[in-house]
Amino acid sequence: MDLFLLAIVAAGISLAMAGAWIVQRTTGMSGWIDTIWSAAVGLGGIFTAGCAEGPFSRRMTVIIIVAAWALRLAGHIGVRTKGGGEDPRYAKLMRDWGASASSRLFIFLQVQALAAFVLVFAIYLAAINDKAYPAVTDWLAVLLAATALAGETISDAQLARFRRRPEARSEVCETGLWRYSRHPNYFFEWLFWCCLPLFAVTSSPTSLLSLLAPALMYWLLVHVSGIPPLEEHMLRSRGDKFRALRKRVNAFFPGPRKSEFVSQGE
């Protein structure tokens, strides 16, 4: 394991998130934070995989997949931020932090840098896997990554199309993939990171550390910075309409609409 390489990447991500703090403080637009975070994970992963010692073909596959993820997510968030409007999750944090908002945001972003490093470390473990390429697990990983990227792209496009409707400010999105999950974009984001353990898996116990990537992403999206603050905002802005949605649509994992089971049993 190349600890020097990992230390360089960790320092670079930390500096990137310090830059994100400066950008937010300068522009007042918190969306640039997630844009920079996505780019930092992507660039850190690409650099790490490129410098790692592993089969060239597997490293290139990992690099292409990570680059596609980073370009899609950073581009999507960047365009949305440029279009205007503050991220309600960050806006609430800044209000709650009050006079100490600036310093607490800096610390918060360094915690995000640590989370980013965990993801990059999983990319590194995938890149140094020295078993013959391609293995069955490699094919499965590519399929999983492609499915996740397609699903996230489709769900984001469906939500953007819904938001362009005049009534979107008072309604809830319940079309396309959003009929089967309240947060399909988050689900597919988590699914993407499930491909890294497939790339990384070997007989070495160290490769199991790659499971930290999907585990961390699930925890963040479902329990910390994803669903909880966003749904709190939706409850404030949509009220009973969103409460009704919660009763008939799964929060994270796509599944049958609950109201359909009720109607069949009555």
218: nearest Cα among 249, 250, 245, 186: 186
Q: Indicate if the alpha-carbon torsion angle 221, 231, 175, 81 is positive or negative.
A: negative
Other beta carbons less than 10 A from residue 117's beta carbon: 22
pLDDT band at 258 (very low <50, low <70, confident <90, very high): confident
* pLDDT, position 85: 67
Instruction: Give the tokens for residue 8.
Output: 């360089």
pLDDT band at 86 (very low <50, low <70, confident <90, very high): confident
pTM: 0.91
* pLDDT, position 131: 92
What integer best gives the mean pLDDT of the chain? 92
Q: What mean pLDDT comes out for the span 154-171?
A: 89
* pLDDT, position 169: 81
Contact 137, 198 (CB under 8 A): yes
Ordered DSSP codes for 157-189? HHHHHHHTSGGGGTS---SGGGGT-S-HHHHHH
- CA distances in angstroms from 22 to 32, 43, 109, 121, listed in the order given: 10, 19, 11, 26
Give the residue, 199 or 225, on which the prediction is more confident.
199
Contact 257, 249 (CB under 8 A): yes
Q: Indicate if the alpha-carbon torsion angle 38, 156, 163, 252 is positive or negative.
A: negative
Q: What mean pLDDT comes out for the span 125-143?
A: 95
247: nearest Cα among 237, 260, 236: 260
Q: Indicate if the alpha-carbon torsion angle 73, 75, 78, 83 is positive or negative.
A: negative
Q: Indicate if the alpha-carbon torsion angle 180, 184, 186, 188 is positive or negative.
A: positive
pLDDT band at 221 (very low <50, low <70, confident <90, very high): very high
Q: In the predicted model, is pLDDT for residue 259 greater than 80? A: no
Instruction: Give the tokens for residue 213.
Output: 């990537």
Tens of pLDDT, residue by residue over 235-254, are 998 999 999 999 999 999 99
